[in-house]
Chain A
Amino acid sequence: MTASAPIAAPGSASATTGAVFRRLSEGNTLPVLIVVTAIVAIWYGFTIYLNAPWQIDTYQRTGAEWTAADLVRDTMAQERPVLPAPHQVVAEIWKTVVDVRPTSNRSLLKHAWITLSSTLLGFAIGTALGILIAVGIVHNRAMDKSVMPWVIASQTIPILAIAPMIIVVLNAVGISGLLPKALISTYLSFFPVVVGMVKGFKSPEAIQIDLMRTYNASGPQTFWKLRWPSALPYLFTSMKVAVAISLVGAIVGELPTGAVAGLGARLLAGSYYGQTVQIWAALFMAAALAAVLVALVGLVQRLVMHRMGAKP
């Protein structure tokens, strides 16, 4: 600080608060804040309500004197609450993300990374597979009739039922580790890509198809110069859905295998030992991961669409 540091003119402080307040009330910030505050308040309400019976039970067993204030305080500080309070979950996340080395087995970041790597691998395979199947369906009538029903049928089987089968079968042929888990993500994520890309490849107008015919364009030329660019907006929309369910697939893939690492393993271990705080922390980490992944796909979409001359 120098001696000549400017002294705020009278009223400037209130002017900035005014500006901040205007930004809050005009944008989305204020409504979002209100909703978040409401959710947190309801959550605290339920924390007290759901944890109170056990707490009262404990008071009676130990014969301790207690007041309503004691009850409220103690329901939010249980080690294995029915519903942990928000600040307990935040503290747990802080403890397992910031306070612990990322290489430690107790680090939530490490578990998130393990789940993320299988999510990304499964998502990449699923997207590629989805595009290939869609290309086949659009270009081949027989495939259109024969493959599409199977694609739809595949999604009617509960993933929880089929995930252990995939793991067991692949283990039997000597494939273990990342790939079986990733394939469960693939199983879920190829579907929206097939559906979206079939629609996308069929989206060119009749006159655009006729136009290519008047140029005597070859099949590959029509595909790369017309069908592929027409389908790109559909691809990104599908990929947003696909990346989110890839994450679900990776977590589900960790549940039946007794995996020792990953968000799914954290959820499973948490439920074995009644560590509800740990479960909620893993859930929030998974939700944050999904949000980041969807946002990343959205960012790539905006960049690509901008390069393709989309109206701003």
Chain B
Amino acid sequence: MHSAQNIVEARNVSLTFETNDGPVQALSNVDLAVRRGEFVSFIGPSGCGKTTLLRLVADLEQPTAGELRVGGLSPEEARKARTYGYVFQAPGLFPWRTIEKNIALPLEIMGYSAEEQKRRIASTLELVNLSGFARKFPWQLSGGMQQRASIARALSFDADLLLMDEPFGALDEIVRDHLNEQLLELWARTSKTICFVTHSIPEAVYLSTRIVVMSPRPGRVTDIIESPLPMERRPLDIRESPEFLEIAHRVREGLRAGHSDE
């Protein structure tokens, strides 16, 4: 299983939280490999550990058992090598910084030169279609634009891996469709690997090359579905095609199976 092609590798990864009501198993024996250039979605009901799994990859939590490799390194080494960019559920922009200064934040921390910062801010703003908004403060932007700015911030230092935790969960349907389309375009242009947590079936099927179905108590992987949909171009109306509906059906079955043993 160990291979240079895999950017994320999990072997028997488990995580148990100690709480006042006794131990809670957040993740149990997760085996997974994400190949370079893939777009992998993690889907499941709340409490299935999909966010926790992403946080383990990001070294924001540590597994209690099993082995996890990120880009061939331990998660901590990978974090210190700035292997990934992380997009949270909320934009989390710093309100006292303009959009360009928010995007500059990781660049400042990582010690990029002033000219390099300027160049990267311009190019990532263009990538997320926010070029005219560099000097605006976050409150002057809509929720969808703020989330795009936070994606630009995660892209600015050009990490190979993008970890996204329900980034569009708080946005309305139309904005979400639009951002999904833009995200696919961006993924195609940058050849990054994306791990994407969601609880929306259409979103998972539309975006992914592979869908990891998870279920709760204890959090575990119940199914991994390869998408036969074309990689290059996916117009939004592909969601009405029979192939799309068939995968969506399989995902739904997987989610239901995870629930039935309660």
**Cα-based distance from A232 to B94 in the complex (angstroms):** 13
Residue B92 lies at the interface, judged by CB distance under 8 Å to chain A: yes
Do A211 and B86 touch (CB < 8 A)?
A: yes
Tell which of A57-65, A133-141, A202-210 binds the partner. Answer: A202-210
Our pick among A205, A208, A213 for the contact of B79 (Cβ within 8 Å) is: A213
User: Which residues of B sit under 8 angstroms from A229, Cβ to Cβ?
Assistant: 94, 96
User: Which residues of A sit under 8 angstroms from B59, Cβ to Cβ?
Assistant: 213
User: Which residues of B sit under 8 angstroms from A311, Cβ to Cβ?
Assistant: 139
Residue B80 lies at the interface, judged by CB distance under 8 Å to chain A: yes
- Who on chain A is nearest to B76 by CB? A216
User: Which residues of A sit under 8 angstroms from B108, Cβ to Cβ?
Assistant: 225
Residue B134 lies at the interface, judged by CB distance under 8 Å to chain A: no
**Interface size range of chain A in the complex:** 20 to 34
Residue B118 lies at the interface, judged by CB distance under 8 Å to chain A: no
Q: Beyond A205-B92, A225-B105, A229-B96, is A215–B110 a contact (Cβ under 8 Å)?
A: yes
Residue A158 lies at the interface, judged by CB distance under 8 Å to chain B: no
- Who on chain A is nearest to B90 by CB? A207
Q: Beyond A221-B109, A309-B137, is A210–B94 a contact (Cβ under 8 Å)?
A: no
User: Which residues of B sit under 8 angstroms from A132, Cβ to Cβ?
Assistant: none
Residue B168 lies at the interface, judged by CB distance under 8 Å to chain A: no
A194-222 interface (Cβ within 8 A of B): 205, 207-208, 210-217, 221
User: Which residues of B sit under 8 angstroms from A212, Cβ to Cβ?
Assistant: 109
**Cα-based distance from A217 to B105 in the complex (angstroms):** 10
**Cα-based distance from A213 to B90 in the complex (angstroms):** 16
Residue B58 lies at the interface, judged by CB distance under 8 Å to chain A: yes
The secondary structure that dominates the B interface is: loop
Do A215 and B109 touch (CB < 8 A)?
A: yes
**Interface size range of chain B in the complex:** 20 to 34
Do B60 and A210 touch (CB < 8 A)?
A: yes
Our pick among A207, A225, A226 for the contact of B89 (Cβ within 8 Å) is: A207
A274-312 vs B, CB cutoff 8 Å, 1 = contact: the mask equals 000000000000000000000000000000000011110
User: Which residues of B sit under 8 angstroms from A310, Cβ to Cβ?
Assistant: 95-96
Do B58 and A214 touch (CB < 8 A)?
A: yes
Q: Can you offer 19 A-B residue contacts whose CB atoms are under 8 A?
A: A205-B90, A205-B92, A207-B88, A207-B90, A208-B92, A210-B60, A211-B86, A211-B92, A214-B79, A215-B105, A215-B110, A216-B80, A216-B109, A225-B94, A229-B94, A308-B95, A308-B96, A310-B95, A311-B139
- A-side residues, CB < 8 A to B, are 205, 207-208, 210-217, 221, 225-226, 229, 232, 308-311
